[in-house]
Amino acid sequence: MVAALNCWWPDELIWRSNNSGATWSPIWDWASYPTMNLYYDYDISSAPWLQDNTSTAQFLSRVGWMVESLVIDPFDSNHWLYGTGATIYGGHDLLKWDTVHNVTLKSLATGIEETAVLSLITPPGGPPLLSAVGDIGGFYHSNLDTPPAGNFHTPTYGTTNDLDYAGNKPANIVRTGASSTAVQIAVSADFGLTWNQDYGFTTSTGPGSVAYSADADTVLLISSTNGPIRSQYTSTFTSVSTLPSSAVIASDKRNNTYFYGGAAGAIYVSSDTGSTFAKTVTLGSSTAVNKIRVHPTVAGDVWASTDVGLFHSVNFGATFTQVGGATEGWSFGTFPFFLPLASLCRMNDGY
């Protein structure tokens, strides 16, 4: 069997020979343009997001692209696999290719995915999970036992960079992601089921990390092109000059006026809904603030992970106390019944 390395249009090409390469048969060919003869059935029940039912493309790439590995199981001639730029395809009826010339092409990448998880949130009262992921946009997970049917839309982002919810009005979600045609920030009022473009944004402004004020009236964004910017009541985004462009950010989940930032080991606090920030404290000997998380039900309860450990404030970021045990900290989550849950913290006795 042979696959094209980098065939993008209208779909990947794969051929099979059972006479030492004297003749070859394809997995698809042209009937008469633009009609294609497809010599396969298509089963993506384990990963339904691989085909987006909102697509208006003339040709849907199902066989794949960027195939750099194709193998036949040496112990089972019906079993074959190949890697693509989206998943691992293959099947268990390959010998049908040589008889009825129709195989069942399946996604067989159960348990793995070609993507990167960039943000995860669980808004109180909403779905068990909203995800921001690379390449395939992100998902509303209504049930963690079954795969999501499709990614976020209106607008559609190839990669969703970040998500946040409004603490006092958690059905309100903000999402930011990469698109060459759409406004790269969107808001939802129904926990992420449906979306609208944020009309205070422009198509020329890049996405980044985002924070939503507790009452859902203010969006703070660290834009990849414009640095720190904010918008209130869907007004035009304006620059926030008092916050470093490298800052990680978070909103207070109960007090609508407070936002927090962290950069180069220092904490920055805004008490005027992100209009201005003031540097309040340096976190010990740290030189980097990696993440800031805020208690979902207690105002002014702030946590920060750094290159020297984990820090905690109970006074809106005015002062912080280092938490013992952790010597380095990256991403972590907060829950109302236990604080904090550290997902990537180096402890004195390991991870």
**In the chain, domain spans:** 2-107, 115-239, 245-351
What pLDDT does residue 61 have? 87
Residues 198 and 231: their CA atoms lie apart, in Å, by 10
What pLDDT does residue 79 have? 98
Residues 231 and 334: their CA atoms lie apart, in Å, by 26
pLDDT digits (tens, 9 = 90+) for 271-292: 999 999 999 999 999 999 999 9
Which distant-in-sequence residues (6+ apart) come within 8 Å of 15 by Cβ?
1, 2, 3, 24, 25, 26, 27
Residues 169 and 214: their CA atoms lie apart, in Å, by 7
pLDDT digits (tens, 9 = 90+) for 75-86: 999 999 999 988
What pLDDT does residue 345 have? 47
What pLDDT does residue 110 have? 84
What pLDDT does residue 349 have? 42
Would you state the structure tokens that stand for residue 339, as one six-digit string? 């604080």
What pLDDT does residue 200 have? 93
Q: What is the pTM of this model?
A: 0.87
Residues of the chain with pLDDT under 50: 337-351
Q: With contact defined as beta carbons under 8 Å apart, do 67 and 61 qualify?
A: no
Locus of tokens 């042979």: 2
What pLDDT does residue 53 have? 65
CATH architecture of residue range(s) 115-239: 7 Propeller (2.130)
Locus of tokens 């926030």: 240
